[in-house]
C-alpha cells in the first residue's frame, strides 16, 4: 500500500509543471492580443489624457518588461492576488470566490444527475443487449451526444417553464428563500439548516440547468458503461463467479460493474471538461449567478484581468479533476498497486 | 510429476490409484497408497481434510460434513455409486449460419471419486460439455436435450435458484486460464471466501462485518490456501491475483472451487496455460485432492499425455460426440476408433523414429452436419455406409464403447 | 496528462489506441481486443489497396467498402441528409425564398405557416427564418470542413513526424499538446475568442488551434505502432528512404482511423461554433448563423417559440447525420474503435 501513496505523490508532483504551464500560457495568450491592453480597456471611454493612460499602465505594471510582468503575475497568483476587475475595481479573487459556490453547485449536481442516470442505463443496456431498453437508451444517448446544450436548455425553458410552468426560468433561488450561508451551496446549506422550503426552491431552480448540463455527459457515460460492461460480462471471471453459485445480481454488480467502472472513471474525468465548458453556456441561458456568467459578462465589458483569472481557474480545476481521476483510478485498479 | 509431454506411458505407467478402481470396468490394478504419489516432486503441503466447512445456518441439513474416506468400500454396482450421470446431452449455439451443434448426445457416468478425462481437438465440444453440465452455456447457446442426474436429482429440472445452490457447492469448476478467471479487482482471499459465503458457510452481510466473522473467514481461507499448497497464505490471502504466478493462480482457483467440498470437480484444461513443470504440480495437487476427499474429477484436455498420466477412464470426443470411451490403457494401447488411432499417430513418442502422421482434412462444420458419420471425410477405413448413417456408440470387447461402422467386434 | 480531454464520441477507443501517452507511470493501457491481430489484418488489407497493389484491387476494395456502407441504413440516411444540407448551402441564393437579411418590420414574429409567405415564420426584425437557416448552413458546414481540414493537416503532419523520428521534436510537441489538453475545449475557445474578438476566421483559428491535438496523438500512436511492423522493417532493409516509407507504407494505414475521427469530430466543431455564436463570441451578428439565431430568439421564447427552436433543430439534424455517418465509418473501417 505504501507504494500506492508514492505513486499518487509522484502523480501530484507531475501536475505542478502542468499547472504552472497553464498559468504561463494564459498570461502569454492574453498578452498576445492585438493592440495595447490599456487602449482596448479605456478606448471607448474617451476624454482620457496621456497621463491617465500612463498612470493606468503603471498601476497595472504594464510599463515593465514581459518577464518582469510574468514574474509579478505568478507571484501574485501564489498569494491569491489575481489583480483588479476593471469596471468595478474589485479584487478579481473576490469576484471569482463569490461566483464559485453557485458554479460548483451546478457542476456537482449535473455530474450527480449524469451518473445516477447513466450508470444504471449503461448496466441494463449491457445486460439486456439488443433488447428494447438497450436500443431505446442507446438511441437516446446518441441523440444526447449530437444535441448542443444551449438548444436543449432553450427547449427545456419553453416546455417546462413557459408552457407547463413547473420550473422557474432562471436564477438560483427565489428572493427571500436563501438559506443561511454555511458552504455557499444552497441545497447543502438548506439541508444542514433543515430549511425545507429553501431546499425545495433551490432544487426547482437547479433541475433544468443541471439536467441540461448533465444530459451530454450522461449520454457519453452511458455508452462507455455499456461498452465496458459488455466487455467485462464476457470475461472468464464472470463465468467463474456464476460457476461458484453467485447470485446473478451480485455477478453483475460486484464482479462486472466493479471492473467496468475502472475505464469509466477516466472517461468521467474527461467529461468534466465538457461540464466546465458547457457550464458557461448553461449559466448564461438560465441566468445562473456563477463563474460562467461572470466570464461571459466580463468578455463583453472587456474586463481582461477577470477573464484571464477565470480561464485559469477553469483550466486548473480541470487539471485537478484529472489528477483526482488518476488517483481514483489507482485505487480502483489493484494492478496499479505493486 | 516428471511428465514427458507427448509420451504415452504403457499400461503400468504412473497413474493415479483413484478410487474408481472398484467401479471402473477392466482388470483390477493393485492400488497404490495415496501417500506414495505425494513425493518430493510435489510442492503441495499435502491436501488433508483439515477444517471441514460447516454451515452457519440450517440450510444444509443432511449435508455430511466429513467425506467418506478414500478407500471406503463402495457398492459393486456402478450405477449405484454414480454421482453424475449425463445422458443424451445436446447443446446448440444459434448463429447466422444455422445452429452449431456443440454437444451431440453425450452420455457420461461418473462414480464417486472417479477421474475421467475427456480428450479431443479444440472445438470438439469438450468445454461446451462441461458448461452444459453446469448449465452455464453462454447466451445464446442452450441445452436442447438430455438429462444430467446428480446423485438422483435431474439438474435440468432444477430452478435457476436451486441450480445456483448446486454450482460451487456440489459441482465446482475450474477454467483454463487462471489469469483471466480470477477477478482482478478483488483480493485472492476474498474470492475464495466468496465461494464459502454464497453457500452459507460464512455469513453474508451485515454479519460478515463482525470481527468474529472476519477472523473466521481468515482462518478458513488460510486453511484452504494451505491445503492447495500456497506458501505463506497468512500474508498472501491479502494479495491480488496479478501478484501471483500462473501456477499459484491455478491453485487459488482450485482452492476456490473446492472451498465447499464439492462432490465433483470439472476441470477445463486446468494446466494448458501453465509451464510443463507447473502442470505436473497442479495435476499432483488434483490427484491428491481426489484421493483424500473422494472428489470426482472430470478433466478436459487436448493432451493425451496428461490424460494418460492422470486418469483411469478416458472419453475421446470428436465433433460434439464421444467416439470412443474406455479404460485409459486399453484405449491408448489398442485404439479402435480411427480418430483415436489418428490422434495417437500424430503424437511423437520418445525413443521411436517412426514418422508422425497427422490426421488429414479439417474438423467438420458443426452448423452443417451431414447424415453420415462426422469423421467419415477424414477417415482412412471409410465404408460406403459411413456417408449414409450415423454409427451408434456400442460396446467393443466388453471394456469400452466405440462409435464406428468399421469397428471390429 | 491523458489524451482527449473533451471528446464526447469515440473516446474509449481512442483512449485505448493512444499507447504513446504519458500517463501516470505504469498506467495500464486497456486493450479491448487483440490489437496485434487487428493491426495485421488492417495492414495487410490496406497494403493491398493503397500501397503496392494494382489499381484493380483498390477499386474492388472501394466497392466493397461502398457496399458495406450502403448496407447500413443509418449511414445511408445520414449521408443523404448531409448531401441535402450541402446542396442547400451551396445553392442557397436559389433555394432560399428571401434574402437572409431582408427586413420586413410589418411581419415581425410571424408564426410558421405552410401556406403563408414565411413557412417557418419570421424573427424579431421580420426576416424569414427559413432563408436564414438555409444561409446559416453555409457557415456551419464551412466551419466544420475548414477546422477539420486544418486540424488533420497539422495534426497528422506533426504526429507522423513525431511518431516516426521521435527524439526532441516529439518531446517538445508532445509537451505542448499536454498543455493544450489541460484546457477544456470550450473554455479554450471562449478565452481565445475573448482576445481575438468575434469573426469567421478568428473562430476557425481558435477552433483549429486546439483541434489538431487529437489527430496528432492518433497519428503519432499509430505510426509508432506501425513502425515496428515487419513490412516497415522489410522496406527499411530494402533501402527505401524514410519519406518513401512514410508515404507508401505508413500513411495508408493511418488514413482509416483519421477519416473516422475526422468525421466524428466535425460534428463537435459545428456544435462548438454554434455554441460560441450563441454566446455572441463566434460569427459576427451580420452573418446568419444558427447559434446566433437561437440567441436572438431567446427574448421571444414565450411568444414566438419558433425563432429560438427551429435553427437549433437544423443544427441537431446536421450533427446527427454527421455522427451517424461517422459511426458507420468507424464500424466498417476501424472496428477497433467500435464499442460493444
C56-75, pLDDT tens digit by residue? 667 777 787 888 888 888 88
Q: Does domain C63-339 have CATH number 2.10.77.10?
A: no
By Cβ distance, the residue of A33, A319, A333 closest to C195 is A33
pTM attached to this predicted model = 0.81
- Rounded to an integer, what distance in angstroms lies between the CA atom of residue C8 and that of residue C261? 11
Neighbours of chain A (3+ CB pairs under 8 A): B, C
C299 CB within 8 Å of a chain A CB: no
Please classify residue A65 by burial: count the beta carbons closer than 10 Å to its beta carbon, then call 0-12 exposed, 13-18 middle and 19+ buried. exposed
Q: Look at residues B244, B196, B241, B186 and name the one whose alpha carbon lies nearest to residue B218.
A: B196
Question: Residue B140: is the preceding peptide bond cis (ω within 30°)?
Answer: yes
Q: How far is CA C255 from its chain centroid?
A: 14
Answer yes or no: do A335 and B184 touch at CB < 8 A: yes
**What ranges do the domains of chain C cover?**
2-47, 63-339
pLDDT of residue C50: 44
By Cβ distance, the residue of C25, C275, C301 closest to A7 is C25
pLDDT of residue C126: 73
pLDDT of residue B256: 92
Cell of C340: 460493444
Smallest CA–CA distance, residue A172 to chain B, in Å, is 41
Q: Look at residues B145, B64, B56, B52 and name the one whose alpha carbon lies nearest to residue B105.
A: B145
Cell of A257: 460493474
Cell of C16: 485505448
Q: What is the full per-residue pLDDT of chain B (409 aa) written as tens digits? A: 443 333 333 333 333 333 333 343 333 333 333 333 333 333 444 454 445 555 544 333 333 333 333 333 333 444 446 889 999 999 998 888 888 888 998 999 898 888 999 998 887 888 899 999 999 988 888 999 999 999 888 999 999 999 999 999 999 999 888 888 999 989 999 999 999 999 988 887 777 788 888 899 999 999 999 988 899 999 999 999 988 998 899 999 999 998 888 999 999 988 888 888 888 888 888 898 898 888 999 999 888 888 888 888 999 999 889 999 999 888 888 888 888 888 888 777 767 677 777 777 777 888 888 888 888 888 888 888 888 888 888 888 777 888 888 776 5
- Rounded to an integer, what distance in angstroms lies between the CA atom of residue C213 and that of residue C180? 8
- Domain membership flag for residue A248: yes
ipTM for the assembly: 0.86
What CATH number does residue A210 fall under?
1.10.3720.10
Under DSSP, is residue B71 helix (H, G, I), strand (E, B) or coil?
A: coil
What does the pLDDT look like over C174-227, one tens digit per residue? Answer: 989 988 888 889 989 988 888 888 889 999 999 999 999 999 999 998 888 888
Angle, CA of A85, A86 and A88, to the nearest 5°: 75
**What ranges do the domains of chain B cover?**
7-54+180-265+278-298, 76-174+303-360
Find the chain B residues whose C-beta atoms sit closer than 8 A to any C-beta of A: 134, 136, 138, 164-169, 172-173, 175, 177, 180-187, 194-195, 198-199, 240, 242-243, 253, 256-257
By Cβ distance, the residue of A148, A157, A270 closest to C5 is A270
pLDDT of residue C144: 94
Q: Which fold has domain B76-174+303-360?
A: Rossmann fold (3.40.50)
Mutate to test the interface with A, among C182, C185, C266, C305 (most CBs of A within 10 A): C182
Residue A236 falls in which region: left (phi positive, over 0), alpha (psi -120 to 50) or beta: alpha
Nearest residue of chain A to residue B266 (CA atoms): A243
In A, which residues are within 8 Å of C32 by CB distance? 231
Neighbours of chain B (3+ CB pairs under 8 A): A
CB A291 within 8 A of CB A103: yes
Neighbours of chain C (3+ CB pairs under 8 A): A
Answer yes or no: do B168 and A245 touch at CB < 8 A: yes
Answer yes or no: do B182 and A237 touch at CB < 8 A: yes
Mutate to test the interface with A, among C187, C296, C298 (most CBs of A within 10 A): C187
- Domain membership flag for residue A198: yes
* Lookup result for grid cell 457550464: A279
Q: Look at residues B339, B314, B397 and name the one whose alpha carbon lies nearest to residue B119.
A: B314
By Cβ distance, the residue of A243, A246, A337 closest to B134 is A243
Q: What is the full per-residue pLDDT of chain A (338 aa) written as tens digits? A: 556 778 788 888 888 888 888 888 888 877 766 555 566 566 555 566 777 777 777 776 667 777 888 888 888 888 888 778 777 778 888 899 988 999 999 999 999 999 999 999 999 999 998 899 999 999 999 999 889 999 999 999 889 988 888 888 888 888 777 787 778 788 888 888 888 888 888 888 999 999 999 999 999 999 999 999 999 998 999 999 999 999 989 999 999 999 999 889 988 988 888 898 888 899 989 989 889 988 888 888 878 788 888 888 888 899 999 889 888 888 888 776 54
Residue A302 falls in which region: left (phi positive, over 0), alpha (psi -120 to 50) or beta: left
CB A217 within 8 A of CB A271: yes
Mutate to test the interface with A, among B131, B163, B181 (most CBs of A within 10 A): B181
Smallest CA–CA distance, residue A256 to chain B, in Å, is 9
By Cβ distance, the residue of A237, A245, A258 closest to B164 is A245
Q: What is the largest CA-CA distance in chain C?
A: 78
pLDDT of residue A3: 65
Instruction: Determine phi and psi for A34, rounding to 5 degrees.
Output: -65, 140
Which letter, b or e, does each residue of C281-312 get, where b requires 16 or more Cβ atoms within 10 Å of its Cβ? Answer: bbbeeebbbbbbbbbbbbebbeebbbbbbbbb
CB B287 within 8 A of CB B16: yes
In C, which residues are within 8 Å of A34 by CB distance? 196
Sheet holding B153-154, edge to edge: B98-111, B82-95, B142-150, B153-154
Residue A173 belongs to domain spanning: 101-289+313-332
Answer yes or no: do C301 and A158 touch at CB < 8 A: yes
Residues 214 through 233 of chain C touching chain A, CB cutoff 8 Å: none
Residues 16 through 55 of chain C touching chain A, CB cutoff 8 Å: 23-28, 30, 32
Nearest residue of chain A to residue B138 (CA atoms): A239
Question: Residue C306: is the preceding peptide bond cis (ω within 30°)?
Answer: no
By Cβ distance, the residue of A14, A155, A277 closest to C6 is A277
Q: How far is CA A3 from its chain centroid?
A: 31
Number of structural domains in chain A = 1
Dump the DSSP string for C140-188.
HHHHHHHHHHHHHHHHHHHHHHHHHH-HHHHHHHHHHHHHHHTS-HHHH
Answer yes or no: do A244 and B194 touch at CB < 8 A: yes
What does the pLDDT look like over C275-328, one tens digit per residue? Answer: 999 988 888 888 888 988 888 888 888 788 888 888 899 999 999 999 999 988
C303 CB within 8 Å of a chain A CB: no
Neighbour count for residue C8 (Cβ, 10 Å): 26
pLDDT of residue A75: 86
Which letter, b or e, does each residue of B172-211 get, where b requires 16 or more Cβ atoms within 10 Å of its Cβ? Answer: bbbbbbbbbbbbbbbbbbbbbbbbbbbbbbbbeeeeeeee
Dump the DSSP string for C216-282.
HHHHHHHHHHHTTSHHHHHHHHTT--HHHHIIIIIHHHHHHHHHHHHHHHHHHHHHHHHHHHHHTSS
By Cβ distance, the residue of A150, A151, A223 closest to C339 is A223
CB C234 within 8 A of CB C32: no
Nearest residue of chain A to residue C186 (CA atoms): A277
Smallest CA–CA distance, residue C267 to chain A, in Å, is 7
Q: Compute the CA torsion angle B82, B86, B87, B90 (nearest 10 deg).
A: 180
Residues 124 through 183 of chain C touching chain A, CB cutoff 8 Å: 178-179, 182-183
- Rounded to an integer, what distance in angstroms lies between the CA atom of residue B8 and that of residue A338? 42
- Rounded to an integer, what distance in angstroms lies between the CA atom of residue A315 and that of residue C192? 13
Amino acid at each position: 500500500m505504501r507504494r500506492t501513496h508514492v505513486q499518487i505523490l509522484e502523480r501530484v508532483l507531475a501536475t505542478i509543471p502542468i499547472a504552472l504551464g497553464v498559468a504561463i500560457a494564459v498570461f502569454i495568450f492574453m498578452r498576445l492580443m492585438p493592440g495595447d491592453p490599456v487602449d482596448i480597456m479605456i478606448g471607448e471611454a474617451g476624454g482620457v489624457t496621456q497621463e491617465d493612460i500612463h498612470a493606468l499602465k503603471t498601476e497595472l505594471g504594464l510599463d515593465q518588461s514581459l518577464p518582469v510582468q510574468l514574474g509579478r503575475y505568478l507571484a501574485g497568483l501564489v498569494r491569491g492576488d489575481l489583480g483588479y476587475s476593471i469596471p468595478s475595481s474589485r479584487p478579481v479573487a473576490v469576484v471569482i470566490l463569490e461566483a464559485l459556490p453557485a458554479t460548483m453547485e451546478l457542476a456537482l449536481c449535473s455530474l450527480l444527475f449524469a451518473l445516477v442516470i447513466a450508470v444504471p442505463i449503461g448496466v441494463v443496456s449491457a445486460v439486456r443487449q439488443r433488447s428494447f431498453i438497450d436500443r431505446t437508451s442507446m438511441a437516446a444517448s446518441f441523440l444526447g451526444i449530437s444535441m448542443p446544450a444551449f438548444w436543449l436548455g432553450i427547449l427545456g425553458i419553453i416546455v417546462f417553464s413557459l408552457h407547463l410552468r413547473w420550473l422557474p426560468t432562471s436564477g438560483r433561488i427565489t428572493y427571500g428563500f436563501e438559506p443561511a450561508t454555511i458552504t455557499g451551496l444552497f441545497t447543502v446549506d438548506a439541508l444542514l439548516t433543515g430549511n425545507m422550503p429553501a431546499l425545495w426552491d433551490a432544487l426547482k431552480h437547479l433541475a433544468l440547468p443541471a439536467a441540461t448540463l448533465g444530459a451530454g455527459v450522461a449520454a457519453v457515460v452511458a455508452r462507455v458503461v455499456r461498452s465496458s460492461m459488455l466487455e467485462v460480462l464476457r470475461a472468464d471471471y464472470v463465468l467463474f463467479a456464476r460457476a461458484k453459485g453467485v447470485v446473478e445480481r451480485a455477478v453483475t454488480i460486484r464482479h462486472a460493474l466493479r471492473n467496468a467502472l475502472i475505464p469509466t472513471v477516466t472517461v468521467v474525468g474527461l467529461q468534466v471538461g465538457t461540464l466546465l465548458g458547457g457550464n458557461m453556456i448553461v449559466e448564461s441561458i438560465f441566468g445562473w449567478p456563477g463563474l460562467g456568467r461572470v466570464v461571459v459578462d466580463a468578455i463583453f465589458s472587456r474586463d481582461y484581468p477577470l477573464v484571464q483569472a477565470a480561464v485559469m481557474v477553469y483550466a486548473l480545476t480541470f487539471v485537478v479533476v484529472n489528477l483526482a481521476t488518476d488517483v481514483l483510478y489507482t485505487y480502483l485498479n489493484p494492478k496499479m498497486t505493486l | 510429476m516428471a511428465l514427458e509431454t507427448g509420451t504415452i506411458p504403457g499400461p503400468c505407467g504412473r497413474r493415479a490409484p483413484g478410487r474408481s478402481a472398484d467401479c471402473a470396468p477392466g482388470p483390477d490394478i493393485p492400488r497404490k497408497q495415496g501417500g506414495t504419489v505425494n513425493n518430493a516432486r510435489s510442492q503441495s503441503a499435502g491436501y488433508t481434510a483439515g477444517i471441514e466447512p460447516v454451515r452457519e445456518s440450517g440450510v444444509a441439513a443432511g449435508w455430511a460434513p466429513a467425506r467418506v474416506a478414500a478407500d471406503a468400500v463402495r457398492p459393486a454396482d456402478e450405477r449405484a455409486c454414480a454421482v453424475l450421470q449425463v445422458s443424451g446431452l445436446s447443446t446448440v449455439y444459434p448463429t447466422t449460419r444455422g445452429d452449431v451443434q456443440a454437444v451431440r448426445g453425450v452420455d457420461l457416468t461418473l462414480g464417486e471419486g472417479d477421474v475421467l478425462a475427456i480428450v479431443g481437438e479444440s472445438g470438439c465440444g469438450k468445454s461446451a460439455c462441461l458448461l452444459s453440465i453446469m448449465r452455464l452455456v453462454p447466451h445464446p447457446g442452450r441445452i436442447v436435450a438430455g438429462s444430467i442426474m446428480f446423485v438422483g436429482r435431474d439438474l435440468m429440472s432444477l430452478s435457476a435458484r436451486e441450480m445456483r445452490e448446486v454450482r460451487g457447492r456440489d459441482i465446482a469448476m475450474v477454467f483454463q486460464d487462471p489469469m483471466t478467471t480470477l477477478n482482478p479487482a478483488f483480493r485472492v482471499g476474498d474470492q475464495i471466501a466468496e465461494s464459502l459465503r454464497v453457500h452459507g458457510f460464512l455469513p453474508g452481510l451485515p454479519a460478515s462485518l463482525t470481527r468474529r466473522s472476519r477472523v473466521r473467514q481468515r482462518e478458513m481461507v488460510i486453511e484452504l490456501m494451505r491445503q492447495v499448497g500456497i506458501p505463506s497464505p497468512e500474508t498472501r490471502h491479502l494479495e491480488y491475483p496479478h501478484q501471483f504466478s500462473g501456477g499459484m493462480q491455478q491453485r487459488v482457483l482450485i482452492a476456490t472451487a473446492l472451498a465447499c467440498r464439492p462432490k465433483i470437480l470439472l476441470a477445463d484444461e486446468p494446466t494448458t496455460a501453465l509451464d510443463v513443470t507447473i502442470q505436473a504440480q497442479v495435476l499432483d495437487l488434483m490427484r491428491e485432492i481426489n484421493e483424500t476427499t473422494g472428489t470426482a474429477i472430470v478433466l478436459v484436455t487436448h493432451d493425451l499425455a496428461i490424460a494418460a498420466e492422470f486418469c483411469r477412464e478416458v472419453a475421446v470426443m470428436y465433433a460434439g460426440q464421444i467416439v470412443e470411451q474406455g479404460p485409459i490403457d486399453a484405449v491408448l494401447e489398442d485404439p479402435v476408433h480411427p480418430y483415436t488411432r489418428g490422434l495417437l499417430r500424430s503424437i511423437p513418442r520418445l525413443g521411436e523414429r517412426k514418422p508422425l502422421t497427422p490426421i488429414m482434412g479439417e474438423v467438420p462444420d458443426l452448423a452443417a452436419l451431414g447424415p453420415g458419420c462426422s469423421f467419415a471425410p477424414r477417415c482412412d477405413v471409410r465404408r460406403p455406409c459411413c456417408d449414409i448413417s450415423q454409427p451408434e456408440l456400442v460396446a467393443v470387447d466388453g471394456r469400452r464403447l466405440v462409435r464406428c461402422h468399421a469397428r471390429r467386434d | 496528462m491523458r489524451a482527449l480531454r473533451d471528446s464526447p464520441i469515440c473516446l474509449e477507443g481512442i483512449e485505448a489506441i493512444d499507447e504513446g501517452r504519458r500517463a501516470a507511470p505504469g498506467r495500464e493501457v486497456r486493450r479491448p481486443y487483440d490489437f496485434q491481430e487487428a493491426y495485421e489484418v488492417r495492414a495487410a488489407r490496406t497494403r493491398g489497396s493503397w500501397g503496392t497493389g494494382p489499381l484493380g484491387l483498390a477499386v474492388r476494395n472501394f466497392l466493397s467498402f461502398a457496399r458495406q456502407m450502403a448496407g447500413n441504413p443509418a449511414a445511408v440516411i445520414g449521408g443523404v441528409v448531409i448531401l441535402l444540407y450541402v446542396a442547400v448551402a451551396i445553392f442557397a441564393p436559389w433555394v432560399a425564398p428571401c434574402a437572409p437579411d431582408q427586413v420586413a418590420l410589418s411581419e415581425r414574429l410571424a408564426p410558421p405557416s405552410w401556406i403563408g409567405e414565411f413557412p417557418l415564420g419570421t424573427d424579431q426584425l421580420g426576416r424569414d427564418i427559413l432563408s436564414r437557416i438555409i444561409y446559416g448552413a453555409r457557415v456551419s458546414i464551412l466551419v466544420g470542413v475548414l477546422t477539420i481540414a486544418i486540424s488533420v493537416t497539422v495534426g497528422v503532419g506533426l504526429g507522423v513526424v513525431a511518431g516516426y523520428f521521435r527524439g526532441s521534436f516529439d518531446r517538445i510537441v508532445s509537451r505542448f499538446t499536454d498543455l493544450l489538453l489541460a484546457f477544456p475545449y470550450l473554455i479554450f475557445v471562449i478565452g481565445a475568442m475573448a482576445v481575438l474578438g468575434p469573426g469567421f476566421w478568428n473562430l476557425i483559428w481558435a477552433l483549429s488551434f486546439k483541434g489538431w491535438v487529437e489527430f496528432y496523438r492518433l497519428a503519432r500512436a499509430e505510426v509508432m505502432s506501425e513502425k515496428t511492423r515487419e513490412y516497415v522493417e522489410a522496406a527499411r532493409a530494402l533501402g527505401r528512404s524514410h519519406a518513401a516509407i512514410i508515404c507508401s507504407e505508413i500513411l495508408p494505414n493511418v488514413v482509416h482511423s483519421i477519416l473516422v475521427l475526422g468525421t466524428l469530430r466535425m460534428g463537435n466543431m459545428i456544435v462548438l461554433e454554434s455554441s460560441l455564436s450563441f454566446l455572441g463570441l463566434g460569427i459576427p451578428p451580420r452573418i446568419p448563423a444558427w447559434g446566433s439565431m437561437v440567441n436572438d430568439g431567446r427574448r421571444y421564447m414565450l411568444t414566438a417559440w419558433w425563432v429560438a427552436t427551429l435553427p437549433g433543430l437544423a443544427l441537431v439534424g446536421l450533427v446527427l447525420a454527421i455522427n451517424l455517418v461517422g459511426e458507420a465509418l468507424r464500424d466498417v473501417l476501424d472496428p477497433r474503435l467500435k464499442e460493444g
